[in-house]
Chain A
């Protein structure tokens, strides 16, 4: 999959790089001419700021999509780093959550968390966990996602917003169940339990 999608993603990265450098050069020119009175300077600087933040946003998304595409090529079908792939799963699911009325509050793990589950299955279960958490009215409250250790297990915990009433039927999706060893629902908390790779 990585081989097929790599070309387009490479092109997109190059396009973002050109936009970034071009905006950077405009910023350099503004700085070099800082003493020249130019009434549109504040507007130009704020517009350049928008360009840089969108390039950054695009770069993060492309990086996450590239990791997804390369997962089979990088020999991650049987095991992966849950810290990395839960982060990528959240990044790739944020738009879905936003369209369903909720932001995702995620604390990326600081340490590697190797698990005996392939990257694609982790990604799919994180996506469907977030889909479940946003399946009822969320009232614009955030869904929380954390990664925790519990003995020899590693858990991705998806907590639905306080005012939400997630659809229990959404838990039956096969992609949610394919990755984790088990899926445990406790009130508003959905725990995706993965076996650690020892």
Chain B
């Protein structure tokens, strides 16, 4: 199976770098961005297979990042991974074109099987 290139966008460095290490141990190819603009720059430089995006970030919010992604790379799937989520947040993200909304903390196997499911890979 071809390795899956994943871009993780989250301002919590301790969380996102640890998650990236765990994904790497499982054969994924993760990159990390600590804010929305850095994430968009990384997509521009090399488009990943999928984006895992936090909702609440300083500066550009996850929703704004999602809007930019939909406008420029509409075929790029995005999974929202948030520590916060009212019903309104969930509805907004799905309306903006997110593929899935997951709450953290979550089991890494749940995240990885969700990625494979969204990308339709076994």
Contact = CB atoms under 8 A, between A and B. Distances in A.
Given A13-B104, A24-B22, 18 more contacts: A6-B86, A11-B83, A12-B83, A14-B12, A18-B18, A19-B105, A20-B104, A21-B15, A21-B105, A22-B14, A22-B18, A32-B25, A59-B103, A66-B84, A66-B86, A70-B86, A73-B86, A74-B88
A59 B107 CA distance: 12
A25 B12 contact: no
Contact of B84 (A6, A18, A59, A74): A6
Interface in B1-44: 12, 14-15, 18-19, 21-22, 25
A39 to B, nearest CB: 24
Nearest to B83: A13
B47 interface: no
Contact of A28 (B12, B22, B103): B22
User: Interface residue tally of chain A, by bracket?
Assistant: 20 to 34
B60 interface: no
A123 to B, nearest CB: 16
Interface string A60-89: 000100100010011000000000000000
Contact of B12 (A9, A18, A63): A18
Nearest to A59: B105
Contacts of B14: 18, 22
A95 interface: no
B47 to A, nearest CB: 26
The 5 closest A-B pairs by CB, nearest first: A13-B83, A20-B105, A10-B84, A17-B105, A17-B104
